[in-house]
Structure 1
Amino acid sequence: MATITEKHERIDRITVKITYGIAFLILMILIVYGAYALVKMYRYEETNDAQVEEYINPILSRSTGFVQEIRFTDHQKVQKGDTLVVIDRNETLLQLQEAEATLRAANASLKVVESSSITTINSASVSEAGIASSKAKLWQQEQDYNRYKKLLAEEAVTQQHFESVKTSFEIAKSEYKVIQNTYKTAKGKINDADTQIAVALANVKQKEAVVDNIKLNLTYSVIKAPSDGIMGDKTLQVGQLIQKGQILGFIVDQDQGKWIVANFKETQVANMEEGQGVEISVDAYPNEVFEGKIQSLAPATGSRFSLLPPDNATGNFVKIVQRFPVRILLIDAPEKTKKLHAGMNANVTVAKL
């Protein structure tokens, strides 16, 4: 019996020692962790309210029509300029043919007006030349009239002869006035023709603009990728009617890189500045550390950029710690950051100034 009792006492002493050892070890771990946490709290600002961001651009339709072809699939990687969607353009081609026919008719009308203007100009030139001839004839008739008038006073000519000369003088004056009026009328027609040419030319320009606009719309029937990236979910079907300005899908832009948006408390941002180094850990890859630097601090709290910013002057007020969005640029090599995707949660640590 004594042997069994001693054996139990020895086991109890060993158990107590092990318990004390474990408790001491746990205490030391807690002390070390607490000291580490205190040092980290004193030297660093940290937040887990952070996410990976990328530009996600909408693919918009710039024309109305039925979908003829879809050349992308869900989550497909595409290059800038790759064709994504083809819209049926038969109706637009018919509109182009009609517009081109209207343009040809407008050009023909312009040529007719220009030809009429040339005829009017030639007629005015003839009238202008006739004015000089008529004026010379009038001058001669006037000289004869004055000479015969003197001769009649001296009774050197007969009354009949004088009246004949006078009639010729009156006819010459009338002819001169007629040809002057004819020239003035022709000049007026030239001005009218110039106006008609300007109107016809403007009509041609308007028809050309219509043709150019339809040709531009034809280019819109082929929708291409605006940048290198990865397509989102495909929601289109062949034969579907789409409207101008409709969103056809989304592309994650890979040309403009990735960054982190970390929302720090307003009590933390006083210890930060642009260009400051940052350490980032992402929940999806907990064993990796990514390097970055502060690119910019928001000029206002996140709530101020919301659709309905809060108004604290409405009576009941509860003070809530606000957060400032901080944009962090990833400075690691693209080969390392390519596995990061928009929306991933991250933890950000910044050394205090």
Structure 2
Amino acid sequence: MKPKSRWFLTDANLTTVTNWLAVFVLCALLFWAGSTLWMRLHYVYTNDAQITRYINPIISRVGGYVVSVDYHDHQMVKRGDTLLIIDNREYKYEADQANASVYKEHAEMNVLSSQKQILIEEHEALKKSIAANEARVKKQQLEFDRYQYLYEERSATAQQLEEVKATLDIYRSELAALEHKLEASQERVHDVEVQKTVVTAEKNRLSAAAGRKHLDVGYTIVRAPYDGMIGKRSIEEGQMINAGEVLGFIVNTETPTWVTANFKETQLRYLHIHDQVEVIADAYPGRVFKGKIISISPATGSSFSLLPPDNATGNFVKIVQRVPVRIELDKKQDERVLRSGMNVNVSIAKHQNSESNI
């Protein structure tokens, strides 16, 4: 009879353990159901969210032979750090040639300035000569008037009058010639001024071209545009690269870290600009990151796709659309541990006193 009693005792113990286990599971389910219901009543939640940062390609503005690569994969860099050096000798020769052209135009300008100064001096000399000839013509005119009077009074001969008249005509012709030379001198000065304008324009053009060549020399050193972390490096020393070729990627660490959360359209009525947000990353389940909503997309994600859905085809199936919401994380916390593209879970408390969600 004892073995039978032991069997009954064992069955009773199993029943007790099973009952307690069932009670525990039931309590756990009730707790889970209660917490889920409480979350749904008080929070808006989505797990369709990713970390977002600006990722820009490293691009060279000139092509050439790579002589040095000073960065590695996943390296932290500061703004202005040298990333890449391209052989700049060809660009320096072109810059020197452009500078020589500028110097040539500068020398031409000096020559024209000297010519203008000479012409101005000749012009002043002609003015003095004209003044002297005008005085001589005036004196000879008085002499002619006197002989004219004497001739009329028969105190001078016609030959004397003709000689005085001829001398006056010669003086007048010389004065007219000097006046023509003065006008020509003025025209030559004007021509020099026009030539200087042309040379100045050409000099400015060549100076701009020389400045462009010097920019190319500077572009042979590729520097970090901002503080960041290098992503994937795709260049080595000794390679020939072209202008605009992607040489790697850099993640900007100067700008804030964002979360792009895709909420259902039925949840939008609870979202407002500047609402406080709690973010939990799958990589760090024990840490809560704080943030706030800074913008809500003006359209659903499908509207920005290459082939947006066309519901007028006759095969309409209603699907709840999602709207991208941008959330900026608080910089006071160590949000840099979050990498771009990580999956996160976003929770937003309902009924916050915030601005409109438009």
Specify the TM-score bucket, using the shorter chain as the normaliser. over 0.9
Matched, 1:341 2:328: no
Deviation (angstroms), 1:270: 0.7
Letter aligned with residue 49 of structure 1: D
Letter aligned with residue 230 of structure 2: M
Aligned residues of 2:256 and 2:328 also touching (Cα < 8 A): no
Alignment partner, residue 180 of structure 1? 179
Task: For structure 1, list consecutive stretches of 5 or more residues without a partner in the other structure.
Answer: none
Aligned residues of 2:256 and 2:331 also touching (Cα < 8 A): no
Alignment partner, residue 201 of structure 2? 202
Aligned residues of 1:279 and 1:290 also touching (Cα < 8 A): yes
Letter aligned with residue 165 of structure 2: K
Secondary structure of the residue that 1:338 maps to in structure 2?
helix
Aligned residues of 1:70 and 1:237 also touching (Cα < 8 A): yes
Let me know the Cα RMSD of the aligned residues.
Answer: 1.8
Aligned residues of 1:291 and 1:332 also touching (Cα < 8 A): no
Matched residues, number: 351
Alignment partner, residue 327 of structure 1? 326
Deviates more, 1:109-118 or 1:296-305: 296-305
Deviation (angstroms), 1:332: 6.0
Secondary structure of the residue that 2:112 maps to in structure 1?
helix
Superposed CA offset, 1:312-345 (max 9, x none): 44554332222111111222634x3232111110
Pair 312,179 (structure 1): closer, same or farther in 2 beyond 3 Å: farther
Q: Scaled by the length of structure 1, what TM-score is found?
A: 0.93
Rounded Cα–Cα distance in structure 2 between residues aligned with 1:207 and 1:295: 49
Identity, in percent, stands at 38
Deviation (angstroms), 1:166: 0.9
Secondary structure of the residue that 1:303 maps to in structure 2?
helix
Deviates more, 1:309-318 or 1:244-253: 309-318
Secondary structure of the residue that 1:267 maps to in structure 2?
helix
Deviation (angstroms), 1:281: 1.1
Deviation (angstroms), 1:71: 0.5
Pair 143,317 (structure 1): closer, same or farther in 2 beyond 3 Å: farther
Deviation (angstroms), 1:311: 4.2
Superposed CA offset, 1:270-326 (max 9, x none): 101122221211111122222222222222222333344444445543322221111
Rounded Cα–Cα distance in structure 2 between residues aligned with 1:348 and 1:105: 68
Superposed CA offset, 1:140-183 (max 9, x none): 22222222222212211111111101111111221111111110
Superposed CA offset, 1:244-272 (max 9, x none): 22222111111113121111111111101
Rounded Cα–Cα distance in structure 1 between residues aligned with 2:187 and 2:226: 60
Rounded Cα–Cα distance in structure 2 between residues aligned with 1:321 and 1:47: 14
Alignment partner, residue 27 of structure 1? 26
Rounded Cα–Cα distance in structure 2 between residues aligned with 1:13 and 1:271: 53
Instruction: Show structure 1 runs of 4+ deviating over 6 A.
Output: none
Alignment partner, residue 164 of structure 2? 165
Rounded Cα–Cα distance in structure 2 between residues aligned with 1:313 and 1:148: 117
Pair 314,191 (structure 1): closer, same or farther in 2 beyond 3 Å: farther
Letter aligned with residue 65 of structure 2: F
Alignment partner, residue 282 of structure 2? 283
Deviation (angstroms), 1:76: 1.1
Deviates more, 1:113-122 or 1:293-302: 293-302
Q: Scaled by the length of structure 2, what TM-score is found?
A: 0.92
Aligned residues of 1:290 and 1:332 also touching (Cα < 8 A): no
